[in-house]
Amino acid sequence: MLHYMGQGVPEDERQAVFYWKKAASQGSADAMFHLGSAYLFGNQAARTVPDPDREAATWYFQAASAGHADAQYHLGLLFLAGKGVIDSRTEAARWMRKAAAQGHQEAKKALGIIESGR
């Protein structure tokens, strides 16, 4: 995170991705989540893969499957938008429900909207 944010070290997204991949390979769900975000919202990471949305979804899925609430929420958003995954309100609701069960407030709001059919 320090490299990504440039706190105490030069800002360097590539270096951040390098360390997140090392941590993710050791099972860090936080690192998996941050990798997903880097591919979705970053400047440099997205240019290193053919489909950044799909790469983000892959990392969010791994973190979400490990119980990471923010990743579950973001994966749900990807299913709502059909970015990197199929467009599926059912899958979106499934992942939002998991995040909401952990107290994720934005997931609770999104789940309410999904379930109301709006």
Average pLDDT score over residue span 30-43:
96
Share of the chain above pLDDT 70, in %: 99
Question: What residues contact 75, with CB distance under 8 A and at least 6 apart?
Answer: 57, 60, 61, 64, 85, 95
What are the φ/ψ torsions at residue 7 (nearest 5 degrees)?
-100, 110
Burial of 40 (0-12, 13-18, 19+ CB in 10 A): buried
pLDDT band per the 50, 70, 90 thresholds, residue 11: confident
- Taking the CA of residue 68 as centre, how many other CA atoms within 13 Å lie in the half-sphere pointing to its CB? 22
Could you read off the pLDDT of 54-72 as tens digits, one per residue?
A: 999 999 999 999 999 999 9
Q: What is the DSSP letter of 9?
A: S
pLDDT band at 85 (very low <50, low <70, confident <90, very high): very high
Predicted local distance difference test score (pLDDT) of residue 117: 76
Q: What is the pLDDT of residue 28?
A: 98
What per-residue confidence (pLDDT) applies to 31? 98
Percent of the chain with pLDDT over 90: 87
Q: Maximum distance among all alpha carbons in the chain?
A: 46
Residue-averaged pLDDT of the chain: 95
- The pLDDT-based confidence of 43 (bands split at 50, 70, 90) is confident
